[in-house]
Amino acid sequence: MSPFVPHPLLRGPHAQTLGAKFLRSETGIHFRRETWDTPDGDILELDFADVPGRTWAQLGDRAPVGVLLHGLEGCARTGYAHATYRAFAARGIRPVGMNYRSCGGAMPRAHRMYHAGETSDPRHVIERLADRFGVPLVAIGFSLGANILLKLQGEWGAESPLAAAAVVSPPFDLAAGVARIERGFSKVYSRYLTRRLKGKLRLRLEEFAELDLDAAAGLAGSTLRDFDEHVTAPLHGFEDAADYYARCSSGSFVGAIRTPTLVIRSLDDPFLAEDVPRAALAANPATELLLSAHGGHVAFLARGRRGGVRSWAEDTAGAWLAERV
């Protein structure tokens, strides 16, 4: 795997991170939406991606399937999702993206949302896809989705239905990451994500009125930790934010992973702390760490053809996964 070299006009962590949001293409792919029922009476929305010239039909019934898990308040049709679907399809993998509850457009029916340690929904999706298609499956997760995928892989251990997995910009210590995003310019990211979460909470205030959570405090808070303390934690059965972070941080699960898993992280990530468990990853023969000095958060934009941008992490992960199916 070639090392990451940032685009000459996008050298800093914030230039990378913001450039990834605004410079990646989100057009040209056709999506087929499927809505699946969940065991608890809710719904999940999946987007099956048809890349021009490499559609599901053209790749054929025997082609492996690749599942994408997106980041906090993202969806299965973001810029990095498009880049991933192209990388998958170019290597003969049929791509599908999973939208977490409330992220695909429809609001959940159940009295819950999603969070960094919620693995029951992706477990349900991956196992159902394995049964339905009967071909090798791979998965890739970004940011919060990377934490979820690592945790799920650790929970599965040797029983994982995946042939391989890859994660980009995973947090390993959620508490440290939430603290890091409140420093310096990174507060901009925290405020943006917190506003989005509050917007969804406002839509469900009446529905959540009888639950044991302080919605008013969640709306009054200004940080992600405030929201997690008053909403995420009590809504999903945790004592408080500290309990939520401790029980759901992926760093506690990497030692139990038994399926080949690639980890891509940058040292200048403005969202995350210096929390990479290098010793645990090195000691596990199933995990491979690709640590870059630069790259920002879910960015890794390199120079493309004619001076444009190339999504290095998605290309690298796609090639690595394709070699294992």
Active site residues: 143, 269, 297
Cα Rg, the chain, nearest whole Å: 19
Contacts of 29-33 spanning 24+ positions with Cβ under 8 A: 29/82, 29/85, 29/86, 30/55, 31/77, 33/104
What's the rounded Cα separation, in Å, for the pair 12 and 5?
12
AA identity, residue 80:
Y
What's the rounded Cα separation, in Å, for the pair 197 and 302?
31
Q: Where are the alpha helices (DSSP H) in 8-95?
A: 13-23, 56-59, 79-90
Query: Is the separation of the CB atoms in 290 and 316 below 8 Å?
Result: yes
How far apart, in Å, are the Cα atoms of 13 and each of 153, 162, 300, 301? 29, 32, 9, 11
Q: What is the DSSP letter of 39?
A: T
With the CA atoms of 197, 198, 200 and 202 taken in that order, what torsion angle do they form, in degrees rounded to the nearest 10? 170
Report the side by side order of strands in the sheet with 287-292.
30-37, 43-50, 94-99, 65-69, 137-142, 164-168, 261-266, 287-292
Largest CA distance in the chain: 57
The two beta strands, 43-50 and 94-99, are antiparallel
Among candidate residues 88, 97, 90, 93, the one with its CA nearest the CA of residue 63: 93
